[in-house]
Structure 1
């Protein structure tokens, strides 16, 4: 990896960590800016480097570095109710990063879908299937679509594709 790529990967680890702290508690799953940076990482870095940046974020959190929402970290957090969302982040980043041009909107939404599906199924182990959907998916659909669309617009501007 080139120095610029290493720097960009590290930047998105840091941005995602900061985004996790911008949080509104609305139940077992907080509303944060993590998803925004997860999608943006894929769009800006591409699928491989984006995946790597968010995987590093997940690993740092799993090792106990307080990068998750509420300055939390540790393997217990990954194994807890919101762990599925965290596990889904690198996959979503990879999928979002596959898009070019107007397809970016679609791949970003597909990335969100992966986060929702994995997070929902994981959360359902703790609170049941229906309650997990109500608490862990439904309140996030509109805000996350806005975040994903904003990420696409920013990525296009950063890459000069306006």
Structure 2
């Protein structure tokens, strides 16, 4: 990877980390786990960036939170957000981006594949969050899945529609850096 490629990855990661911060401020209280715009931003990161740039964006977001900046939903403090009840969902962003962007890089790029890859990534992220709830809230696995997945299925599907539409619009109207193939 050349210096130019590395610089482009860091620039894209920084821009998308900023988008993730902005989307995290869109919060709707929904029981112990709020509904946020974070997963919309994570879906866009996973759909538009390479696995390397997408992972860098999420790591940068996590680092900003760890140093104390109010980047997480509801401006929760870094330790409370990362190791409290929602911590597994936030750490699961790495899984979502990794799975989805990897899948999209290795498949025929189409809206259908975009949906399938995002569903796979989103499910894995929700499962990671639900597993963390079993530890942090001392719930059974069934209770954690009920609290951590079921309330988010419909919102996740709505966000997925927006991810596909926005990704398609961006890919159609934006020249890709360094001759990269679009993920769509």
**Does TM, scored on the shorter chain, surpass 0.5?**
yes
1:1-162 alignment, distance < 5 Å: 1-97=5-101, 98-99=103-104, 100-101=109-110, 102-125=112-135, 126-128=137-139, 129-160=141-172
Give 1:76 shift: 3.3
Partner residue in 1 for 2:177 = none
Structure 1 contact 46–94 (Cα < 8 Å) conserved: no
Q: Deviations over 1:8-34 (max 9, x none)?
A: 211111111111110011111110010
**Partners in 1 of 2:92 and 2:160 — Cα distance?**
15
Q: Structure 1 unaligned runs (5+)?
A: none
> How many pairs align?
162
In the TM superposition, structure 1's runs of 4+ consecutive aligned residues that sit over 6 Å from their partners are none
Partner residue in 1 for 2:175 = none
**Partners in 1 of 2:29 and 2:149 — Cα distance?**
14
Give 1:73 shift: 3.0
Give 1:147 shift: 0.7
Structure 1 contact 81–122 (Cα < 8 Å) conserved: yes
**RMSD of equivalent CA atoms:** 1.8
Structure 1 contact 63–75 (Cα < 8 Å) conserved: no
TM-score (norm 1): 0.91
Give 1:40 shift: 0.5
Q: Structure 2 unaligned runs (5+)?
A: 173-181
Q: If you compute each CA radius of gyration, which structure gives the higher value, 1 or 2?
A: 2
Give 1:138 shift: 0.8
Structure 1 contact 42–96 (Cα < 8 Å) conserved: yes
